[in-house]
Amino acid sequence: MHLIGGAEVDSPTHFLSRNSSNLDDILAEFPEATREQVRLACQTARNAAQAWRRTPAPVRGEIIGNIGAAIAREKEALSRLVTREMGKTLKEARGDVQEAIDTCHFFQSEGRRLYGQTVPSEMPNKDLFTYRRPLGVAAIITAGNFPIAVPSWKIIPALLTGNTIVWKPSEDCPVSSYAFARLMEEAGLPAGVLNVVFGGGREAAGQFLVDMLDEGLLNKIAFTGSTAVGRQIGAAAGRNLIHPTLELGGKNPLVVMRDADLDNALAGALWASFGTGGQRCTSAGNLIIDAPIYTEFKRRFLAMAKDIKIGDPLAHPEVLYGPFINERFFKSWERHYEVGQSDGAKLLYGKGRITRTSKPRGFVGDPEAAYFGWPTIWEARRGMKIFQNECFGPTINLVKVNGIDEAIETANSVDYGLSSAIYTNNRDWAWQFKERIQAGMTSINNSTTGAEAHLPFGGVKGSGNGTRESGIWVLESYTYWQAVNDDVSGKLQLAQMDTDYITPRIAVDVAALG
């Protein structure tokens, strides 16, 4: 059911949530929101906005703490639900849920630190202040690959700062999203502060929610998803003078220099390439390898890839990755084989969909119960489409370069700028990389993936619009600054015009002093 104003609301049409690892296993049936229901959710959020913004920030922070405690209590059950619904390993699902808990812990205390400033005035008997104020109603649209963590990055700070919310979660993970929303309600959110509408994106609930910008029912919109859709949302927000939060795609470079600890670099590269089946916006897209170690790296990386265990993560906890989240993602990924071949890239390993007659030696279980993809490795060159475009699946390119300058130039030659990484023990090379790389996030001797709840998350170029999630930086996305001028002089004082500036008593001839 949709959750609108504290009530459960049904719709005329429905869709199914399935186990990503076993498509015959139906988890639940969910309503597909109509345009009228999305509009009602926005109006309900607007009606709740004034009372919620007047709730003292420390009290809102205590509710955030209650949310964190409720999630922690249900961590294992929620993690297993995430694994069943979207297919990531149980270890990863627990990390997904833990990040939401960490986010609540961080922002609970921020309810006592929504600081403004006192500013000295140039006039007597006058005080100047600044205050953070909530924007109003925030629309939030999230993807299915992190069904708990990523929504928490948006919802928790938006609530803490006094905004009300209409959330359209991914249609790929409605059960996990519903459970998360009910835990937030349990924590003490007043009716109408958090509203949840379910359904698809294009020509469905997601599009209807974006359309509410033009109806004047929203003051903020935050989106995680593809760059193409992000551009459309950015255009709609722009014509309504609303600053959106856009967390978009990536083609993330992982550089391995000739002096790197190769064992560490190989472990990081394998995880960055194939963890979550490559279905992370921060997954590595190009492994940029320094020429003197290229042959050895390729040999060992291929050998490791051939030993990857793949399958249903609930039935086989030892697997590195599970299925595609849905058929749509699989078919989009499958098309990259044609792109790579037409580009002239060299296919080193991978055969598309895993089937009973075509499966790697590490596959366990029934490959045709869902959509599983071979780990796929290409040799590619800068400028190829497969080098430039996000594949969003278990695919990685090996790219040979010679030296730090070519490595950085190659890393920067894509249209994205989300995450990046370098493996090197040369501190000058590490310094050059973090100074010159065009990315919102950079790791040194670590993977491209992995975010902590108190660091800013976001990208540049095609990966976002400069906004950041997480940590204190996200507060800028859900508040505006109010400047207050409090004059107790009892008379009109005009800044810059009535200011009693001090004038020098004498003019000094400096030349004469010499």
Angle between helices 90-110 and 57-73 (to 10 degrees): 160
Is the separation of the CB atoms in 348 and 337 below 8 Å? no
pLDDT reported for residue 330: 97
Determine the residue type at 435.
E
Per-residue model confidence (pLDDT) at position 75: 98
Burial class, 15, CB count within 10 angstroms (exposed 0-12 / middle 13-18 / buried 19+): middle
Write out the two tokens for 434.
Answer: 């973090």
* Owner of token pair 């921020």: 110
Q: Where is 174: in which H helix or E strand?
A: helix 174-186
Please give the order of strands across the beta sheet that includes 2-4: 7-9, 2-4, 194-196, 164-168, 137-141, 220-224, 245-247
**Contact in structure between 440 and 459 (CB atoms under 8 Å):** yes
Q: Which fold has domain 2-12+26-246+466-482?
A: Aldehyde Dehydrogenase; Chain A, domain 1 (3.40.605)
Residues designated catalytic: 247, 281
Predicted local confidence at residue 115, as pLDDT: 93
Residue 334: the pLDDT is: 96
- Asked whether the beta carbons of 281 and 230 are under 8 A apart, the reply is no
Tell me, what DSSP letter sits at residue 275? Answer: G
Nearest of 279, 356, 268 to residue 324 by alpha carbon: 279
pTM given for the model: 0.94
- Residue extents of the structural domains in the chain: 2-12+26-246+466-482, 252-453
Q: Which residues of the chain carry a pLDDT beneath 50? A: none
d(CA 144, CA 82): 10
Beta-bridged to residue 399, according to DSSP, are 288
Pair 117, 124: CB distance under 8 Å: no
Question: What rounded mean pLDDT belongs to the chain?
Answer: 96
Check residue 514 and give its pLDDT: 63
Q: Is the CATH code 3.40.309.10 the one for domain 252-453?
A: yes
Q: Alpha-carbon dihedral of residues 72, 75, 76, 80, nearest 10 degrees?
A: 180
pLDDT digits (tens, 9 = 90+) for 458-499: 999 999 999 999 999 999 999 999 999 999 999 999 888 888
Q: Per-residue pLDDT tens for 280-307?
A: 999 999 999 999 999 999 999 999 999 9
What percentage of residues in the chain have a pLDDT greater than 70? 99
Q: Which DSSP string corresponds to 60-115?
A: HHHHHHHHHHHHHHTHHHHHHHHHHHH---HHHHHHHHHHHHHHHHHHHHHTT---
Q: What is the pLDDT of residue 509?
A: 73
pLDDT for position 511: 72
pLDDT at site 287: 98
In this structure, the strands spanning 117-119 and 126-134 are antiparallel
